[in-house]
Structure 1
């Protein structure tokens, strides 16, 4: 996959990075702290380092894949961050710098004493190893090995060596400078990917034409991926922890030369947070428009780079990937070294004796090396449980946040909180949050309820519970001698007159920009899809099918070309709207539909390619959700299996009551033809079955009467029995209009009527082995609909329109509609 030029590009990146890091390291070798960079770092380096640290390989892959599957919704996690960076800059940083601390645990020590200090030290070291070091290193090493073909251990070792080399010598100063260098590289590289993607799809107009409007939503109250209420409540809990109290992020402001510099640096990071949706998320949407139907969205980034990036640029993208990992990894290593040396070694091992600068640097370097070794083995260990652990790492962030967010918000702004209350509530909250996190990730409810709420909502609930516990314990305990009440925010503002008004103006301007961005994208989401517009710009129905009179076919289940050459042809079933997993290969599921009438009957013919027929090539397994699926009763499940659903709304009435898919009579109905069961033949015999609404006895009785009276018939033939190449089946439906197609009160369709509009939808079901449909309801592999919305069941107002013409088809100019 990689050309020699790509390897040269990667090599140049590594050499430049090592040179920058080691030059800074040598300059800082003797006269600077490993941990706060001698408090001389400028605001541009602080801002770019915060941004680069946040952009790890897990973020890159997850955001790209989420954008591919659900659009811009994931951008909320980026564009809400500025609010909490504002809190970091203007609320938390004045406290941090006024106390002259170098670690977050030291801040808690000043407020709550030694016990809470030791607990938070252990907590911080654990989260750095799990989230910043091991998890990121595994994902980055895995992707690097996939690009290069190297062994996983070799990829991890190379990345770790590069990150450790300058971190162990130059400390935070080297980390910040190299992070700034890598931030520029990531912005340039991902911008190149975005531009190439737009070129391939035909620019902005091409992207808009091939992307569903709902992909541009930032606010979606019905979203399952990012539920709006859960996000608004839960994200602040994560945001305060991640942006305001996590050592790996906050350590940058500790290195600022003064408060205004720190605040400007954080403001710059907030401005840079505008970029990720455009250079990390937008390419995922572009790739969806270029290649829809990708099942494993985690592989979307790798697939786009492989398919569209030219020689040399692939090497650039690997350099971007390495930059994303190393900027996160070196920050994690330095943070681990800082906390271990200053908050464990100095107070516990050295017993608070005055350590020389030389000893401190030596211990810090040794700890950095030890942490890198731990990260190496932890990353390799993750390979054995990666399928579960990767998801666990992502969701546990939400469950690690509530205890620390509670500790800082309540402890900082309510002086009544006692050390005992803070300690006990923190321990209890940590245990509760991790327990809930593990059980919810595994889906284990112990039968107490149907399913866990979204992890963001759980994070909020746990935060509220943690706050309540802290407040309650504070009311029944007293302050200890070790506690130190912190100055009020008003006092800090008075003591720091250098907080320039221009910084507040900068945050106000950023707020205006963010509100404008939300307005623009919600406007885009409200526009109809360009592919659904007529030439005059008006909306067209989702699908239009024109049906004409033709010759009477032989009704036997065989679909011959000469029988249906005069029928309307609807091709490419694999490209229809996917209710479950998208179809990735025509060998898996595809085919064509033919529709016509002969003046007496309406005919549907299906020529289906299906590589595996349920109950024929597979066992007749049953889903957990519906163990009585094969009962030929109202409690059964007619369309569980391979087959076809035909839905007709003869009166073409799109008004409906909530939940009503059809009426189950001659005005609006749905019926099913299966390859392995039928009303007339029973289990094992293909044919026609009753459809929805089965809950309505009148509909059930109508469907049975139509089958018994042959008002609607279906014949099915397996291709293997026809000596045809390939696998699958052919199927014919014959529908008697005078009993099943009531276009108005007492008026049934006939060829003597003028052109008649009816609602139409068709679904093709493909049920293979249970594992093929893993994570889908009922383990369905595919269910492709002619019309409707992706991932949603269709309702009457989402159907397409079938135009029934009484006469034969006249020559017409080919359009996008099915009228050929």
Structure 2
């Protein structure tokens, strides 16, 4: 281990924590709204950086670089195409949540369908977080840190053992952030780490290209642009991990779910002071997503030119950072990766606690005729976060036994929960009389259908196309049930007037520019652009 790199890692990590503490030291969390929604007081820069950095975990660094190294830039479709989904969410979905003063996305399901649907979806969210999202964040962070500092060699233990230790280190620190600081402390860290991330990405690009060019960065640029150009292609074929056609089927659905109904993401936007602030924050997050190729893909391209055949391809990003960066930059990037893991783990833990306390625990107590005080809600939310984090820390190291590309594995796991929930949310958004029973049947059909097509039957169809088919079938079934047994009274949304719902007047031209940049990026990184 390089002493300078490790010392830099410790200092930067400590500095980020110190800033978070300083900015929140006078804030005493005494209510659930303070813990979960930062008292709806976030500015647009806080919302934008929180959305972006909550979305960016070490999985992005590790998984994207690996996919580019093994395959090509078709993996970039996940991040770039999400801009379209984010624009739709900003314009149509966030106003619905803010109008109803909703704290969780399943709150909409209670208003639109019934309390049982809300509880069922809240339970599915919790299962998804504990067995999928939280473990993946911990595992990818552990893989990245081990690759940067080679702890398994230093400690003279197996690779798997080092992953166990690092998972628990990240999990314990992330738990403290969420339990003690709440959403406000997480958002402050996001803002600082966002600045650090872009700085580190630019420096890594410079040193990486310089290394490829044998000390000359311009020669490095010439080398990566003139050889092995197939890795620059973002238009995936049927044989690639992300065929281009999937952008228009299952991928757009998963992105709409993620940015429009995923609690851990939407909670950041719901903590804004008004609709205008939320929409400006989402636009800022879109800009961050468009810069993704520089942040996450270029290290994979550099790895293609440095390593002929990596035994463990998940360490492509870590190997590049270790081999091309001076020790101070290696430590700096390690701190950013560690911070990315923390600020993805902590919001997910916070959101899981929000769902459990507000959608399951509090209604249960009230149904039994017991009043629930704010101190009791806070105590039990922190207790739940502790139990959930411990369970995730036990599950995370087991991901080492998964087969195939890590990023694809992660998306397949996410899909099992995302599309069933999005399907019933979508029907709820666009119809007024589809009854609660349709939501329950649709949820069961879509979830079981996906599991059967991925585990029991080998359809030979890409899983993203399967998702689109299941979405259409589920929607059709729900609409048919709504036709046969419609609700007696159509659903009417209520305006609870908690925040100002005046939209951002400049949103249309800004969103149009963002969509244009999205299309241009696909053209630049294609066979009619750099990959020609």
TM-score, scaled relative to structure 2: 0.89
Aligned 8 A contact 1:400 1:433 in 2:
no
Aligned 8 A contact 2:275 2:504 in 1:
no
What stretches of structure 1 of length at least 5 have no aligned partner? Answer: 446-450, 529-820
Q: How does 1:536-615 map to 2 (within 5 A)?
A: none
| Number of the residue aligned with 1:306 | 322
| Number of the residue aligned with 1:281 | 297
Counterpart check, 1:268 vs 2:281:
no
| Number of the residue aligned with 2:170 | 159
Residue from 425, 434, 439 that aligns with 1:417: 434
Cα distance, 1:221 vs structure 2 = 4.7
Residue from 503, 519, 525 that aligns with 1:521: 525
| Number of the residue aligned with 1:692 | none
Residue from 359, 363, 367 that aligns with 1:343: 359
| Number of the residue aligned with 1:365 | 382
Measure the CA separation in 1 of the matches of 2:231 and 2:470.
31
Measure the CA separation in 2 of the matches of 1:198 and 1:145.
24
| Number of the residue aligned with 1:40 | 41
Cα distance, 1:296 vs structure 2 = 4.2
- Provide the secondary structure at the position in 2 that maps to 1:225: coil
Cα distance, 1:386 vs structure 2 = 4.1
Aligned 8 A contact 2:274 2:500 in 1:
no
Counterpart check, 1:75 vs 2:83:
no
Measure the CA separation in 2 of the matches of 1:484 and 1:415.
5
Aligned 8 A contact 2:210 2:220 in 1:
yes
Measure the CA separation in 2 of the matches of 1:365 and 1:312.
36
Aligned 8 A contact 2:254 2:419 in 1:
yes
Cα distance, 1:86 vs structure 2 = 0.8
| Number of the residue aligned with 2:159 | none
Measure the CA separation in 2 of the matches of 1:422 and 1:480.
16
Question: Cα deviations across residues 213-235 of structure 1 (Å, max 9, x unaligned)?
Answer: x3333334555332222332121
CA distance 1:155–1:298, shift in 2 (3 Å)? closer
- Provide the secondary structure at the position in 1 that maps to 2:525: helix
CA distance 1:215–1:393, shift in 2 (3 Å)? closer
Counterpart check, 1:404 vs 2:421:
yes
Measure the CA separation in 1 of the matches of 2:513 and 2:247.
24
Counterpart check, 1:479 vs 2:495:
no
- Provide the secondary structure at the position in 2 that maps to 1:312: helix
Counterpart check, 1:326 vs 2:342:
yes
Measure the CA separation in 2 of the matches of 1:371 and 1:84.
30
Counterpart check, 1:511 vs 2:515:
yes
Aligned 8 A contact 2:144 2:315 in 1:
no
The farther-off stretch of 16-25 and 260-269 is 16-25
Measure the CA separation in 1 of the matches of 2:493 and 2:501.
19
| Number of the residue aligned with 1:104 | 105
Question: Cα deviations across residues 735-777 of structure 1 (Å, max 9, x unaligned)?
Answer: xxxxxxxxxxxxxxxxxxxxxxxxxxxxxxxxxxxxxxxxxxx
Q: Does 1 or 2 have the higher relative contact order (CA < 8 Å, sep 6+)?
A: 2
- Provide the secondary structure at the position in 2 that maps to 1:499: coil
CA distance 1:257–1:31, shift in 2 (3 Å)? farther
Cα distance, 1:485 vs structure 2 = 3.0
Residue from 206, 219, 242 that aligns with 2:223: 206
TM-score, scaled relative to structure 1: 0.59
Measure the CA separation in 2 of the matches of 1:389 and 1:289.
20
Measure the CA separation in 1 of the matches of 2:12 and 2:117.
43
Cα distance, 1:245 vs structure 2 = 0.3
Aligned 8 A contact 2:232 2:526 in 1:
yes
Question: Cα deviations across residues 376-426 of structure 1 (Å, max 9, x unaligned)?
Answer: 22224545x444796644312233222122112111111231111111211
Q: How does 1:734-745 map to 2 (within 5 A)?
A: none
| Number of the residue aligned with 1:603 | none
Measure the CA separation in 2 of the matches of 1:69 and 1:154.
28
Q: How does 1:488-507 map to 2 (within 5 A)?
A: 498-507=502-511
| Number of the residue aligned with 2:139 | 138
Aligned 8 A contact 2:232 2:525 in 1:
yes
Cα distance, 1:336 vs structure 2 = 0.8
Aligned 8 A contact 1:56 1:327 in 2:
yes
CA-based RMSD of the aligned residues comes to 2.6
Aligned 8 A contact 1:34 1:364 in 2:
no
Residue from 458, 463, 468 that aligns with 1:455: 463
| Number of the residue aligned with 1:91 | 92
Measure the CA separation in 2 of the matches of 1:404 and 1:94.
19
More strand per residue: 1 or 2?
Answer: 1
Measure the CA separation in 2 of the matches of 1:197 and 1:366.
44
CA distance 1:43–1:354, shift in 2 (3 Å)? farther
What stretches of structure 2 of length at least 5 have no aligned partner? Answer: 156-161, 213-218
CA distance 1:160–1:239, shift in 2 (3 Å)? same
Counterpart check, 1:469 vs 2:477:
yes
Measure the CA separation in 2 of the matches of 1:498 and 1:271.
23
Aligned length: 511
Aligned 8 A contact 1:25 1:169 in 2:
no
CA distance 1:380–1:66, shift in 2 (3 Å)? closer
Aligned 8 A contact 2:74 2:240 in 1:
no
